Amino acid sequence: LLQYNILVGSIVGGIYLGFCFNAGAPAVEAFIEKVSRRSNFEYGRARMFGAVGWALCASIVGIMFTINNQFVFWLGSGCAFILAVLLFFAKTDAPSSATVANAVGANHSAFSLKLALELFRQPKPWFLSLYVIGVSCTYDVFDQQFANFFTSFFATGEQGTRVFGYVTTMGELLNASIMFFAPLIINRIGGKNALLLAGTIMSVRIIGSSFATSALEVVILKTLHMFEVPFLLVGCFKYITSQFEVRFSATIYLVCFCFFKQLAMIFMSILAGNMYESIGFQGAYLVLGLVALGFTLISVFTLSGPGPLSLLRRKVNEVA
């Protein structure tokens, strides 16, 4: 379609990606979190296999893209079809206690649009959205063009693309290993501190990229991604389930963490694009990094729950 009419192809492709990827991926994340919680299985350990899959795909795509980029789209479509089949046939058995509760009507408190709107009259969802827009959205805008910035440090674009694929694979495999242990760490430090830690790592990577001068430096900065993702994803769900009613977890995640972020990215991507043209990658990264760092510091006071000082006092009391 793009070959015949690039405008129509772009519109149709944008709608397709919006529904299937930008909306579908968060819905699958929320589904996995609910199933994991219902099965008494840590979400982070289930999500670990997503990181493994991402690692394998990054290497394969890095090679395929330099041969024929059409292969990538066929591979993505095939994997999406397999996922659809698995979700269609997947069934979860309800625990006996849940079955009894459903039988007596204990779980029949109706969820409605009115309840959701009342939920957003509270400040907590808006403060979480502030963190997501100021930190996570800023990071995603930075990461959109990082591959182009990364490949600029190599002799040819093909070499840079291959190295980027290999580095992404290594990072995602390490990401998977950290994802396995992330629930243990986050259960000790709390969801708020996990989000603040993720924000700090993201800020360091963005600001560090603005000062990078060699391929080795951008490789090291790229691997910081493996630490950020586990604390952001697992920490987000831990924060939501600790600060809101569990039945609202999917709504809070999809609205605060996904909808508002995608909406903000529309405008932030335009601003970032203008900065890339006017002050270059590194100048734009410095601005984006300072924005992410600023909102991380603000979130110390706006996010609910025990913060870094409370954690420090608890550790001191344990030692004493």
Cα–Cα distances in angstroms (integers) from residue 277 to residues 219, 267, 281, in the given order: 24, 16, 8
Is 110 within the bounds of a domain? no
Percentage of the chain beyond pLDDT 70 is 89
Whether 240 is covered by a domain: the verdict is yes
> Do the domain assignments include residue 118?
no
Residue 251 forms part of a structural domain: yes
Residues 6+ apart with CB under 8 A from 149: 209, 218, 281, 285
Amino acid identity, residue 63? I
Q: Is 113 domain-assigned?
A: no
Q: Percent of the chain scored above 90 by pLDDT?
A: 20
CATH classification at residue 257: 1.20.1250.20
Residue 181 lies in a domain: yes
In the prediction, which pLDDT does 1 show? Answer: 66
Please state whether 313 falls in left (phi above 0), alpha (psi between -120 and 50) or beta.
Answer: alpha
| CA dist list (Å): 147 to 102, 158, 273 | 49, 12, 15
For residue 261, pLDDT over 50 is answered with: yes
Place of tokens 């479509």: 77
Tell me, yes or no, whether 112 lies in a domain: no
> Under DSSP, is residue 244 helix (H, G, I), strand (E, B) or coil?
coil
Angle at 305 between CA 127 and CA 172, to 5 degrees: 75
User: At 121, which helix (H) or strand (E)?
Assistant: none
**Which residue type does 90 have?**
A
User: What's residue 105's pLDDT?
Assistant: 40
Q: Read off the pTM.
A: 0.78
Give the pLDDT confidence score for residue 103 in this predicted structure. Answer: 40
Burial class of residue 222, CB neighbours in 10 A (0-12, 13-18, 19+): buried
Residue 211 has a pLDDT of: 92
**Tens digit of each residue's pLDDT (9 = 90 or more) over 83-115:** 788 878 876 565 555 544 444 344 545 556 677
At 154, which helix (H) or strand (E)? none
Domain count, the chain: 1
Q: What pLDDT score was predicted for residue 104? A: 38
* pLDDT for residue 65: 72
Could you give the CA distance from residue 165 to residue 62 in angstroms, rounded to a whole number? Answer: 5
Burial track 58-84 (b if 16+ CB lie within 10 A, e otherwise) = bbebbebbeeeeeebeeeeeeeeeeee
| Helix/strand/coil for 221 | helix
Structure token pair of residue 129: 């959205």
pLDDT confidence band for 275 (50 / 70 / 90): very high
pLDDT of residue 171: 78
Cβ neighbours, 10 Å, residue 111: 12
pLDDT given at position 319: 67
CB 239 within 8 A of CB 129: no
Confidence of residue 320 (pLDDT cuts 50, 70, 90): low
Q: Has residue 314 been placed in a domain?
A: no
Return the structure tokens found at 15.
């709608």
Residues 6+ apart with CB under 8 A from 41: none
Domain residue limits at 81 = 6-86+123-305
Q: What pLDDT score does 291 carry?
A: 95
Residue 93 pLDDT: 61
Q: What is the pLDDT of residues 113-169, one digit of tens each?
A: 677 777 888 899 999 999 999 999 999 999 888 888 888 888 887 888 888 878 877
> Can you give the C-alpha Rg of the chain in angstroms?
21
Q: What's residue 283's pLDDT?
A: 92
Question: At how many degrees (to 10) do helices 157-189 and 215-223 cross?
Answer: 30
